[in-house]
Chain A
Amino acid sequence: MTSASNSLTDNRSEAVVTAGLSQGDVSDFFALLKPRVMFLVVFTALVGMVVVHPTIHPVVAFASLLMIAIGAGASGCLNMWWDADIDAVMTRTRARPIPAGKIAPGEALAFGLTLSAGSVIVLGLVSNVLAAGLLAFTIVFYAVIYSMWLKRSTPQNIVIGGAAGALPPVVAQAAVTGHVGWESLILFAIIFIWTPPHFWALALVKSGDYERAGIPMMPNVAGPDSTRRQILAYTVLLAPLGLAPVAFGFGGLAYAIIATIGGLGMLALAFQVYRLRQGEPAMRVAQQLFAFSILYLFLLFATLLAEHGLGFFRPVFG
């Protein structure tokens, strides 16, 4: 009875979609934009803007930031369109709008392409061609190079693909200054090196999910022990790199303290992940590293924002 009524409902939903009528609600379309990732993009891009103290009109800066956010959302939407098959078999992603049957794949593709083109064109008109080109590159890098190619073909997928997530400060600086400076390149490097320990900590916990979906994440290909070594190696690089803004003069005293404590926290957790390899404690510490890595990056960028946006900057040297 239940399966018969489900079948009728499915047939009807199919007929509605075939007739060109969307089944999705506004919230489903919003979910396609990966709002949490969008927030991170807006946040890092905003920091990329404020550290260079731009002289452009705040309205133009706001409009640029909005277009960067929409571009990031569009690439997330295209990623969901392409990955709908593997999202359907992973517990973490099976409730997304396309595998849940709320939005048809064609709708998501059209939505993603429209927003991609729109955000790039408007950013070009509002700021400059360099920023628009960088935003277009970021979208293509995430949707095509990462999602369509790297994600299903190499365990280095999130290492190389991490460049897409690290680019927003670079796009933002280009939007407000017309060029790419070393400040945004340092922020790019921090996010880029932060990405592997962040994602591999999650992959250690969710390796069963990735195995089922056939995604060659590092723990599934090289094994958990090798992944733990690489997490530690990247974190050893990340902790001093987090202090680079101080060395280059745009990270102040508060930033130096936060980056030092946070870097030591990341190192301690990464070492625990390396040391504990069996059972529940190993999973727990990997989850802790995943959660702390988010807090670490958030605190680094929030401190830079407070120092430059709210005037809390106190130089470490001189």
Chain B
Amino acid sequence: MASASSGRFSGDPMVQQSPLPRLTPEEQKRRRRRSVALGLALGALVLLFYVVTIAKLGPGVLNRPL
């Protein structure tokens, strides 16, 4: 399991025979940029939900039975 996920494009001789192409450096950069953008988008969504919750509920967000 670990070798399949980590060795897919990492030069593992077993995997090199696979039909999956090796990513070029440019493709790896693009993939990294996509991952960073997705991470930022998810982070922004979390922040948006937090801020909207505070804005809609105000101090009432803390007003709940314990």
Contact = CB atoms under 8 A, between A and B. Distances in A.
A12 B48 contact: no
B27 A59 contact: no
A126 interface: yes
Nearest to B29: A25
A192 B49 CA distance: 34
Q: Looking at chain B's contact residues, is the secondary structure mostly helix, strand, loop, or mixed?
A: helix
Interface string A203-225: 00000000000000000000000
B10 to A, nearest CB: 15
B56 A25 contact: no
A29 B31 CA distance: 12
A91 interface: no
Given A57-B55, A57-B56, A63-B48, A23 B21 contact: no
A21 B34 contact: no
B56 A60 contact: yes
B4 interface: no
A268 interface: no
B27 A26 contact: no
Given A25-B34, A26-B34, A16 B55 contact: no
A16 B21 contact: yes
A23 B55 CA distance: 40
Interface range, A side: 10 to 19
A57 B55 CA distance: 7
Interface in B17-31: 19-21, 23, 27, 30-31
Given A19-B20, A21-B27, A22-B34, A60 B55 contact: yes
B48 A16 contact: no
Interface range, B side: 10 to 19
Contacts of A60: 52, 55-56
Given A16-B27, A21-B23, A59 B55 contact: yes
Nearest to B20: A19
A107 B37 CA distance: 16
Given A15-B19, A21-B23, A21-B27, A59 B33 contact: no
Nearest to A22: B34
Contact of B34 (A12, A19, A24): A24
Contacts of A26: 33-34, 37
B45 to A, nearest CB: 8
A159 interface: no
A12 B30 contact: no
Interface of B: 19-21, 23, 27, 30-31, 33-34, 37, 48, 51-52, 55-56
11 contacts: A12-B21, A15-B20, A16-B21, A19-B20, A22-B30, A22-B31, A25-B33, A26-B37, A29-B34, A60-B55, A63-B51
